Structure 1
């Protein structure tokens, strides 16, 4: 599926990298980032989180990437924190056991949100806790039929991390988000789709291809406009209307100078189908 593969970690000889970052062979402007700990359902260890953050930082430097798919290897998307590692951290020093929130979780979520192109989550299996937070940090989500989601945190006596307190409320509303976070009741991909949390539910063997088709479509679009849309929607969810209106005007002014906008207007007037370079 790729003509280029980069291991976004520095594994020991003879081990698989914790994260894979590849380019789509059909469209090199599309990247695929895979959490690669399939035997443990992509549970998040320090190694995996460090590798994931490094991959995001690498993507920030790749100016030719115009869309990204995030998925998990094997039968899961991500089941959240590896509790074995967490238990060891608690035993060693409870006062530092949660340093990973600021060191890993927060910058991973912020990094996904701030990438300068659309990001699609291909949710191929269970999506739990911080894994759900990572999926909601993506712009769009495609899920396998029957996949189960869970917030998980109160089940181990915690409140949410990975931005879920905000992103889940923005996705499904405050009342349902509170219900899901308090009661920790699993929900299905089909339920998630009815709530608007997931864009599309497809058979499991079609999840990655469906996400890639969507990424290729977005990768051929006006990338700078997509970035402004991402920013505007997130700002609009928490800002007063006058601030939103001012920000929208500033975004339009920035986009007025782009080649994509100017050429698309000319194409429209000439009755041509517009093509976008991302510039």
Structure 2
């Protein structure tokens, strides 16, 4: 397993765990953290390496977004090409998380701000600590929400709420985020790790290819007409009907026993 300086990463029992590990800076992203995260996601994407990914942060927060000291600017100074930063680092990260052929669980253990909030929302299942908050502070420094924020927020919570969060930068408490449908669930702070571990263990024993196809189908369904989605469902079922896990699932159901899925 590669050694990293800004993240913690391991794979065990089918569960890959990636922890953003700059707690003194609220796990804000630097160029190095981007590079190390990308390397870890490559390892997760290797067929058979893992069956679920858990993403979280070290310390008291999940991620404060971009470390502004990593690309400091000053009034009257020369500007920076923020679009290139998105093109080279943030956009590949979001695309990588959404395209992984396995479930991605995000455990939001504290504040998730800026790109950090939108990276969390790019994951498939988000469980937040009760004390966690989601913040879109981009307007405070003259920017727009990035890392998929302008796409994800209105689709999850509607235009009015998305605009309110983005224009004001007001924090959204975890409980309200769940009520609005922005995230899947909330857990007491002390129970967050155990809650996520139990879900990850369950998914590591599930039919991996089926979960991957569910993820792919639902994400693709946001942007295609019904006829096209019906064809996609047909194609997914045609593929999955030939998998070992489908045969095992049906056999276990008929034999009234627990299935033993292998991910094949």
Q: Same fold (TM over 0.5)?
A: yes
Q: 1:80 — aligned with what?
A: 65
- 269-278 or 241-250, which moves further after superposition? 269-278
Task: Select 1:259's aligned residue among 244, 251, 260.
Answer: 244
Task: Select 1:65's aligned residue among 45, 50, 63.
Answer: 50
For residue 77 of structure 1, give the secondary structure of its aligned residue in structure 2.
Answer: strand
Question: Residues 62 and 209 of structure 1: is their aligned pair in 2 closer, same or farther, counting only changes over 3 Å?
Answer: farther
CA deviation after TM superposition for structure 1 residue 167, in Å? 1.7
Question: Residues 91 and 56 of structure 1: is their aligned pair in 2 closer, same or farther, counting only changes over 3 Å?
Answer: farther
- The answer to whether the aligner puts 1:119 opposite 2:104 as a matched pair is yes
Question: Residues 53 and 89 of structure 1: is their aligned pair in 2 closer, same or farther, counting only changes over 3 Å?
Answer: farther
CA contact (8 A) 1:86 1:97 kept: no
Q: 2:7 — aligned with what?
A: 19
CA deviation after TM superposition for structure 1 residue 64, in Å? 3.0
CA distance in 1, matches of 2:155, 2:260: 32
Alignment of 1:186-205 (within 5 A): 186-205=171-190
CA deviation after TM superposition for structure 1 residue 174, in Å? 3.0
CA deviation after TM superposition for structure 1 residue 90, in Å? 9.3
Q: 1:129 — aligned with what?
A: 114
Question: Residues 259 and 89 of structure 1: is their aligned pair in 2 closer, same or farther, counting only changes over 3 Å?
Answer: farther
CA distance in 2, matches of 1:237, 1:258: 26
CA distance in 1, matches of 2:157, 2:18: 26
CA contact (8 A) 2:121 2:183 kept: no
Q: 2:21 — aligned with what?
A: 36
CA distance in 2, matches of 1:135, 1:161: 12
Number of aligned residues: 264
- The answer to whether the aligner puts 1:242 opposite 2:227 as a matched pair is yes
CA contact (8 A) 1:172 1:195 kept: yes
Provide, for residues 8-45 of structure 1, a one-character-per-residue CA deviation record: whole Å limited to 9, x for no partner.
x4xxxxxxx11111134xxx211110001000101111
For residue 17 of structure 2, give the secondary structure of its aligned residue in structure 1.
Answer: strand
TM-score normalised by the chain length of structure 1: 0.89
Alpha-carbon RMSD across the aligned residues, in angstroms, is 1.8
CA deviation after TM superposition for structure 1 residue 92, in Å? 7.3
TM-score normalised by the chain length of structure 2: 0.94
Provide, for residues 223-278 of structure 1, a one-character-per-residue CA deviation record: whole Å limited to 9, x for no partner.
10111111111111121111111111111111011111112112222233322111
- The answer to whether the aligner puts 1:274 opposite 2:239 as a matched pair is no
